[in-house]
Amino acid sequence: MPSYPFDIVLIGGSAGSLDLIIDILERLPPDFEIPLVLVVHRLKNTPSVLDELLSKKTGKHLVVEPEDKQSIRPGRIYLAPQNYHLLAESDHSFVLDYSEPIHYSRPAIDASFESFAGVYGSRMLAVLLSGANRDGADGLQAVLAKGGKAIVQAPGTAQYDAMPKAAIDQNPSAMVLEPIQIVPCILNYKA
């Protein structure tokens, strides 16, 4: 297995990000051993089977919604549960948090990025995709402040560019990549 400069990858997305998330999952090799956490804005009062949809669409990866206090395991893909912030504990387990929405969202990308940065520090990679608000910008700042790595989808390629633009404005040191560059960057990231 290749040696990566990170121990976890978080991908945050909102409006316009679903097709790219599916593409990223399809392009990751089946033996990708780094835990991957997806934080996607969803309607809170509507039944969701996004985990099943993502598993079915990619065909080679099982996507699961973690339970509170569940350990984060290598080679797994996790989806933040609907209507909960997904946080990390120092023992590398998940916390489901029902505190107030952030940027009208629960799960909020900022909450997850900030929490995981506090646990994984320089061993974290955060990826921010399309979205129509500024969720993720503060979280990326926390990731970078802890020495983590940050990728933002090039705003010109996003269906909704508000989230990537806000993140880049606040975090000019984040890498800005075209969608086709994201998976190769994850797989070949050099510290």
Options 51, 85, 112, 135, the catalytic residue: 135
DSSP H stretches of helix in 69-127: 109-120
* Cβ(124)–Cβ(149) below 8 Å: yes
* Cβ(131)–Cβ(103) below 8 Å: no
Options 14, 105, 112, 115, the catalytic residue: 14
135 as an active site residue: the answer is yes
∠ CA 86-141-82, nearest 5°, is 20
* Cβ(39)–Cβ(148) below 8 Å: no
Closest CA relative to residue 72, chosen from 94, 40, 95: 94
92 as an active site residue: the answer is no
61 as an active site residue: the answer is no
Amino acid at 76: R
Options 41, 61, 85, 103, the catalytic residue: 41
* Cβ(29)–Cβ(19) below 8 Å: no
> Would you please indicate which residues are annotated as catalytic (active-site) residues?
14, 41, 135
